[in-house]
DNA sequence: TAGATTGTTAATCGATTAACAATC
DNA sequence: TAGATTGTTAATCGATTAACAATC
C-alpha cells in the first residue's frame, strides 16, 4: 500500500466505517466480498467504494472481489491502527472515566496509561487498572513518559490552556471533548462536538419527511 | 423564516457551528457581525456563510451585516432548539450518566426525565435530580409519558433490539452511542460513532504533513 | 450621498456515479 | 473458456467560490 496524492477527508471519514463493517463480516466467517455487497451493507455505491479503495492501491481481484481479511488489514494499516499510542485522559469526571473504560479505545491502538484530575478524592483511584494522578503532575508525566495522545474531558474554560500546554510538551494528537474548537500548528486535533450532533438530531426531528 | 427546497446535510452540519460561534460573540457584547468576520471565526468562506444563511431566508442587511441576536435566534429556530423534547437515557453506566450530567444537553431543549438500567444497585439512585429506573419498566414509562427522544448508551449487543422497540413505542428520535448503525423507517436516528473519530485521529497522526 | 456588505447569479472545483475495458 | 467483478476513465452532479448588482 503505497501512499500517493493527498486523500480527501471525505474518503478518510468513510474508512472507519468500512473497517467496522468488514470486521462484522469476518466475524460471520465470510472470506470474500464484492463492492456490490459492500454497497448494500454500507449504503455507499459500489462505484464509490472501489474509488475509495483505489486511492490507496488495488486491494481487489477482478472477477473475485475483495478478500475480507486482507481488506481489513489494509484499512487498519492505512488508519494506523497497528501502532500503539501512549495516551492520557485529562479530566477524570464521568466522561473521562467513561472513555477510559471504553472497549473501543483499547482495540484501536490507544493505550491509556494515566488519567489526571484536580479532585483530591479521585487522585489515587484506579479506573480499569489505570491510576488517576494529580493534575499538578501533568507536565512532568507527559515529558517523562513521552505521551503521544491526550484525551481532553475537562470543562471548556480550562480546555484551551491545557491543549496549548500539551502541544508545547510535544503531544502529537489531541482528542478534544470540550465544546471549543482548538487548532494548533503541528498538533493533530480532533474536536468532538458532541453537542453539534444533538442539534442535528433536533433539526431532523423538526424537519422530518 | 419560511422553509423551501430541501437543504443539504452539509449545510445542516454547519448550523450548530454558527450557533455556537455567534453565541460566543454575543457573550462578548458584540451586536453586529459581517460574513467576513464570521469567516475568520469559523474558517468557512464569507461567500459560503452567506449562501448557507440564504437557504433559509435573508437574515442580513446590505451595508450592515447581521445582527448577532437576531441571527442566533433564527438559527436556533431552524435547528428546533426552542422546542422541548422529553428525553430518557437508556443505560446508566459511566457514559449514560456522563451525558445525563452534561451541561450542553439541558441548554439544547432535550429535557432528561429518567434513566434506565438493569443493575439493581443503580436503580433508585438520582443523577442530578433524575432517577434511575428499572429497565423492566421502560415500555410502560415511554408509553405513559409520551417520550420524544431516547439516548442509547447500552452495549452494542442489546442496543439494536432496544432501538427497534423504542421506535415501535413511537419515540421520535434516537441518539445512539452504541457502535452499530441502526436505521428505522419513521424514526430519526443519529448514530454517534465515537470510535470512528478516533480512527480519523489515528490516520492523521500517521499522515501528518 | 458614499461606503459597506448583503443576496444571488455565474464560474469553478471536487466528489459521486456511470460505463467499460482489463483481467482474474 | 465464460462469467464476474475489479480498476479506471469519462460524465454528471452538487457544493464551493467568485463576482457583482442591489440596497441599506
> Between chains, do B190 and A197 touch, taking CB under 8 Å as contact?
yes
Average pLDDT over residues A34-54: 97
Average pLDDT over residues A136-160: 96
> Between chains, do B16 and A196 touch, taking CB under 8 Å as contact?
yes
Other C-beta atoms closer than 10 Å to the C-beta of B137 total 13
Q: How confident is the model at residue B2 (pLDDT cuts 50, 70, 90)?
A: very low
**Residues on chain A touching B196 (C-beta within 8 angstroms):** 13, 16-17, 20
Average pLDDT over residues A128-143: 97
Q: Is the CB of A186 under 7 A from strand D?
A: no
Q: How confident is the model at residue A5 (pLDDT cuts 50, 70, 90)?
A: low
Q: For residue B125, give the 3-state DSSP assignment.
A: coil
Which region holds residue A109: left if phi is over 0, alpha if psi is between -120 and 50, else beta?
left
pLDDT of residue A1: 38
Among A78, A97, A110, select the one facing B94 at the smallest CB separation.
A97
The overall average pLDDT reported for chain A is 93
Q: State the sign of the Cα–Cα–Cα–Cα dihedral A204, A207, B3, B9.
A: positive
Q: How far apart are CA B50 and CA B56, in angstroms?
A: 10
The model's pTM is 0.90
| Separation in Å, CA A158 to CA A149, A166, B127 | 18, 12, 24
* Nearest partner of B99 among B44, B154, B57, judged by Cα: B154
Q: For residue B20, give the 3-state DSSP assignment.
A: helix
Please answer whether residues A149 and A172 qualify as being in contact, where contact means their C-beta atoms are separated by less than 8 angstroms.
yes
Q: What angle do CA A73, A77, A83 make, to 5 degrees?
A: 120
pLDDT of residue A167: 97
The distance between the two most distant Cα atoms of chain B, rounded to a whole number of Å, is 63
Q: How far apart are CA A148 and CA B57, in angstroms?
A: 46
Q: Is the CB of A67 under 7 A from strand C?
A: no
Q: What pLDDT, in 10s, does the model give residues B4-38?
A: 468 999 999 999 999 999 999 999 999 999 999 99
Question: Where is B89: in which H helix or E strand?
Answer: strand B85-90
Please answer whether residues A87 and A111 qualify as being in contact, where contact means their C-beta atoms are separated by less than 8 angstroms.
yes
Which protein residue lies nearest to nucleotide C22, measured between its Cα and the C1' atom? A62
Q: Is the CB of A66 under 7 A from strand D?
A: yes
> Between chains, do A104 and B190 touch, taking CB under 8 Å as contact?
no
Cell 491543549 -> residue:
A163
Q: Is the CB of A146 under 7 A from strand D?
A: no
DSSP string, chain A: ----SPPPHHHHHHHHHHHHHHHHHHHTT--EE-HHHHHHHHSS-HHHHHHHHHTT---SBTTTBEEHHHHHHHHHHHHTTTS-EEEEEE--SHHHHHHHT-HHHHTTTEEEEEEEES-TTTTT-EETTEEEEEGGGHHHHHHHTT--EEEE-S-HHHHHHHHHHHHHTT--EEEE-SSS----TTSEEEE--HHHHHHHHHHHHHS--
Most A-contacting residue of B83, B94, B184, B208 (CB-CB within 10 A), to test interface: B94
Other C-beta atoms closer than 10 Å to the C-beta of A140 total 11
Q: What pLDDT, in 10s, does the model give residues B68-117?
A: 999 999 999 999 998 999 999 999 999 999 999 887 787 788 999 999 99
pLDDT of residue B207: 85
Q: For residue B116, give the 3-state DSSP assignment.
A: strand
Q: Chain D: nucleotides under 7 Å from a protein CB?
A: 2-9, 14-19, 21-24
Q: How far apart are CA A165 and CA A185, in angstroms?
A: 13
Which range among A126-135, A163-172, B98-107, B118-127 shows the weakest confidence by mean pLDDT? B98-107
Q: Is the CB of B42 under 7 A from strand C?
A: no
Q: How far apart are CA B29 and CA B35, in angstroms?
A: 18
Among B110, B199, B205, select the one facing A15 at the smallest CB separation.
B199
Q: How confident is the model at residue A3 (pLDDT cuts 50, 70, 90)?
A: very low
Which protein residue lies nearest to nucleotide C23, measured between its Cα and the C1' atom? A62
Amino acid at each position: 500500500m503505497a501512499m500517493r496524492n493527498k486523500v480527501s477527508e471525505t474518503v478518510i471519514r468513510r474508512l472507519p466505517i468500512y473497517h467496522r463493517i468488514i470486521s462484522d463480516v469476518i466475524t460471520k466467517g465470510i472470506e470474500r466480498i464484492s463492492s456490490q455487497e459492500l454497497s448494500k451493507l454500507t449504503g455507499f455505491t459500489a462505484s464509490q467504494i472501489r474509488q475509495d479503495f483505489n486511492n490507496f492501491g488495488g486491494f481487489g481481484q477482478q472477477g473475485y472481489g475483495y478478500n475480507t481479511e486482507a481488506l481489513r488489514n489494509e484499512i487498519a494499516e492505512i488508519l494506523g491502527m497497528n501502532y500503539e499510542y501512549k495516551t492520557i485522559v485529562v479530566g477524570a469526571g464521568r466522561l473521562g472515566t467513561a472513555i477510559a473504560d471504553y472497549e473501543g479505545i483499547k482495540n484501536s491502538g490507544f493505550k491509556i496509561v494515566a488519567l489526571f484530575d484536580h479532585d483530591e478524592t479521585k487522585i489515587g483511584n484506579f479506573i480499569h487498572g489505570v491510576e488517576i494522578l494529580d493534575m499538578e503532575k501533568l507536565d512532568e508525566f507527559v515529558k517523562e513518559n513521552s505521551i503521544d495522545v491526550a484525551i481532553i474531558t475537562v470543562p471548556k474554560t480550562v480546555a484551551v490552556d491545557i491543549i496549548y500546554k500539551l502541544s508545547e510538551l510535544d503531544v502529537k494528537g489531541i482528542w478534544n471533548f470540550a465544546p471549543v474548537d482548538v487548532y494548533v500548528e503541528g498538533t493533530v486535533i480532533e474536536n468532538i462536538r458532541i453537542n453539534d450532533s444533538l442539534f442535528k438530531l433536533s433539526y431532523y426531528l423538526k424537519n422530518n419527511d
